[in-house]
Structure 1
Amino acid sequence: MTTVFDVPADLLIKKVAEEFKNNDKINSPAWSNFVKTGVHKERKPEDVDWWYTRCASIIRRVYMDGPVGVMSLRTFYGGKKDRGVTPEVFRKGSGAIVRNALHQLEDAGYVEKVVGGRVVTPAGRSFLDKISAEIIKDIPNLAKY
């Protein structure tokens, strides 16, 4: 059986983001057109559909690392802040983005809250595994594994 671990991350995230964009369960908030993804960024994302990509990336990360909390996801999506002449320093990503994405994924039934953080539900696991199976069929070298 094909799982998330068997396919390249970029292909999986792109395909899941397309699925999220086409269904009504995951919606981009109104404020997502105006915000940066963290204090370490200088500008907002150039991609207008970045919210769906971030939700797809978060559900993949929860699948792989779960149970996982907001703070560890903030650390994952953080980066180095350019402070001019002074040395760069690591800053965490936006907590509001991670939290709202997790709430939407919970409402869609893909993620649930447990004692240690959040984990993927059986429906979410099935959703990601189906997409992984579709992706692996399209890649001829990976289909034989």
Structure 2
Amino acid sequence: MVATSAKDVDSAEIVKHIAHFLKKSGKVKVPENADLVKLGQSKELAPIDPDWYFIRCAAIARRLYGRSTGVGGLRKIYGGKLRRGVRPNHWIAGCGSVCRRALQTLEQLKWVEKAAEGKGRILSKQGRKDLDRIAADVKSKQVAAEF
């Protein structure tokens, strides 16, 4: 039997299940300003979904499964176009404090650790094991739904 990894299942499904796991565990503390914070300068409003922080932590954990990255790389990923009225649009990076806090939250869970060379963060063995377990659950639910 081949082991199921986080790359073997649909990314949206596994992020949803990881976020549910993080919320259910009770170990993730949502920042106090979560209802006021914008996710980037290019955004006009704060997120509407009350569970946005769990989803962002889950998406970052899934992204770290493949390769290491730091706050600057995550800002590029979550960046967007800044609409400037009649002037041309301009690309701008996402919010660094949200990325940094999400990485710190994942470090407290022992899912993420700093890279050896000091270049960003990598997924720890514990984090990889938990993501693989969640991916196996998602895969088994998909197989059961097919029959």
**TM-score (ref. length: structure 1):** 0.93
Query: Structure 1: 5+ residue runs without aligned partners?
Result: none
Identity of aligned residues (%): 38
- Deviation string 1:54-103 (CA, Å, 9 cap, x unpaired) is 0000111111222x111000000111111111111111110000001101
User: 2:32 — aligned with what?
Assistant: 30
Query: Which structure dedicates a bigger proportion of its chain to strand?
Result: 1
Q: Compute the displacement of 1:23 (Å).
A: 1.3
Alpha-carbon distance in structure 2 between the residues aligned to 1:84 and 1:8: 37
Computed over aligned residues only, the root mean square deviation of the Cα atoms, in angstroms, reads: 1.5
Query: Structure 2: 5+ residue runs without aligned partners?
Result: none
For the residue of structure 1 that corresponds to 2:89, the secondary structure is: strand
User: 1:90 — aligned with what?
Assistant: 91
**Stretches of 4+ moved more than 4 A in 1?**
none
Alignment of 1:130 with 2:137, yes or no, is no
Structure 2 residue aligned with 1:118, among 107, 116, 121? 121
**TM-score (ref. length: structure 2):** 0.92
Alpha-carbon distance in structure 1 between the residues aligned to 2:104 and 2:63: 15
For the residue of structure 1 that corresponds to 2:143, the secondary structure is: coil
Alpha-carbon distance in structure 1 between the residues aligned to 2:42 and 2:84: 9
Alpha-carbon distance in structure 2 between the residues aligned to 1:84 and 1:7: 40
Q: More displaced, 53-62 or 19-28?
A: 19-28
For the residue of structure 1 that corresponds to 2:94, the secondary structure is: coil
Q: Provide the aligned length of Structure 1 versus Structure 2.
A: 142
